[in-house]
Amino acid sequence: MAIPKSTKNYLDKKMAKYDELTHKTVYTAYDAAQTLRRELREIAKSLLVATDKAYVIAVLPAHMRIDMVKLKKSLRARKVSIPNEKVMVKVFKVKPGSMTAFGGLHKIEVVVDKSLLKVKDVILSAGSFTDSVRMKTKDFIDLEQAKLVNFAKAGGYKLTAKSKAKPKKKKALAKNKPLIKKNVKKPVRKVVKKTAKSKAAKKTVKMKKSNSKKLKQKK
């Protein structure tokens, strides 16, 4: 899969520097963070907002929520609201939930909450449930000529630090292992002591042999 052609053509025409990210189907910024294994602060959620003057795209970190009172003051509008999803289909010709963060593509203004500046790179909706765009936060703001204002409030999400994989311990090679000398039992030789009786028997045999020799000589 790839990002929609309309998004790609828009970014390429603006000579924007970006990375395409393909992932499994996601419908929320929270799901995108889980799928891409990124912190919520690195994911930007973009919401279509209706004012009494015009439509705008509000972009803020995924772990934050829109404060409509603050947004109303920042835009100097009389009314602000989140329009019905049908507006996306009828007015902007996009599927509900698949609107990009690029207001220039939809020909509307973009407002960015200042808290997004806390991250160097940001992951943005590209108009697809299976693709996103990563680019420098500053580049995105410059590209859209976005207005920086304060309209976000804590969203109640717990930000967890990235878990670093522990290095696996390599098993020591057999040749590096110290040699353990095994105590090998040597075979014990049984020593049979000669008894006095065996010695006496040998002497009598010798005496008999010598006596027999003497008798033969006399004969």
Q: In this predicted model, which residue has the larger pLDDT, 151 or 97? A: 151
Q: CA nearest 116: which of 41, 34, 58?
A: 41
pLDDT at 64 over 60: yes
Ordered domains of the chain (ranges, CATH): 5-154 (3.90.960.10)
CA distance 75 to 195: 122
- 113: tokens are 């909450």
pLDDT of residue 218: 52
pLDDT digits (tens, 9 = 90+) for 180-209: 555 555 555 554 455 455 555 555 656 656
pLDDT range class, residue 15, cuts 50, 70, 90 = very high
SS3 category, 91: coil
pTM of the predicted model over 0.75: no
CA distance 180 to 70: 75
SS3 category, 61: strand
pLDDT at 58 over 90: yes
Q: Are 172 and 160 in contact (CB under 8 A)?
A: no
SS3 category, 213: helix
Where does residue 30 rank: exposed (0-12), middle (13-18), buried (19+ CB within 10 A)?
A: middle
In DSSP notation, 105-138 reads: HHT-EEEEEGGGGGSSEEEEE-SSSSEEEEEEHH
Q: In this predicted model, which residue has the larger pLDDT, 211 or 68? A: 68
pLDDT at 43 over 60: yes
pLDDT range class, residue 160, cuts 50, 70, 90 = low
- Rounded to whole angstroms, the maximal C-alpha distance in the chain is 160
Cβ neighbours, 10 Å, residue 11: 22
CA distance 219 to 215: 6
% of the chain at pLDDT higher than 90? 49
% of the chain at pLDDT higher than 70? 70
DSSP state of 42: G
